[in-house]
Amino acid sequence: MPELPPEQRPRLMTPARGASATADARPRHPLEDSDHLAWQATAAVRLLERFGAQLLVALDAVGRGDDPALDAALLERDRLVVQLEPLLAALAEARALVRDWPAAPSASSNASQQAVALILAPVDDALQHAQLLHKRLADETREVIARRTQSPAPVRRGGRGGSVALVR
């Protein structure tokens, strides 16, 4: 897997601002870097929107029987998955870090969880939409393959001599 650019790398385990790396190596609370968390969430939503658009292109290609367009859409979808995976993993890590933060349960920890949930809500919505589109694409593809394998190949008569060719 390719290395992430610096702006996409999670900064959850870095020392607090102004502290040296050796002096204070405690994990940072995700809300200490809420600007970075929001940036990651925005980037993830944009990628998920592009992912969804590629799934719509793929659905259209399946409906038209356009295998080259389907292949191109699926190739782009795979490229987007490579970009999405580290972002979604970092966001999941932030959510888990807030949930499992070592502080005793309190109003502030509940507020932290709600704040992170609010930042990540658009990601959750976009991810759910992409998953539904992906499921629909899988269903449509399965149906098309089933129709192709169940229907007999049409018979086409040759121009001379009555030769028969099967066309799929």
- The domain in which residue 108 lies consists of 6-166
Q: Are 164 and 157 in contact (CB under 8 A)?
A: yes
Euclidean distance between the first and the last CA atom of the chain, given in angstroms as a whole number: 39
Is the pLDDT reported for residue 66 higher than 50?
yes
Which of 35, 51, 17 lies closest to 94, judged by CA? 35
Tell me, yes or no, whether 41 lies in a domain: yes
Tell me, yes or no, whether 50 lies in a domain: yes
What single-letter amino acid sits at 113? Q
Tell me, yes or no, whether 118 lies in a domain: yes
In this predicted model, what pLDDT tens digit does every residue of 78-91 receive, in sequence order? 999 999 999 999 99
In this predicted model, what pLDDT tens digit does every residue of 10-58 receive, in sequence order? 544 343 444 444 445 666 666 777 788 889 999 999 999 999 999 999 9
pLDDT grade for 155, boundaries at 50, 70 and 90: low
- Kindly report the pTM of this predicted structure: 0.67
| CA–CA gap between residue 50 and residue 47 (Å, rounded) | 5
Number of domains observed in the structure of the chain? 1
Tell me, yes or no, whether 45 lies in a domain: yes
Tell me, yes or no, whether 1 lies in a domain: no
Is the pLDDT reported for residue 125 higher than 80?
yes
Tell me, yes or no, whether 13 lies in a domain: yes
| Eight-class DSSP state of 165 | E
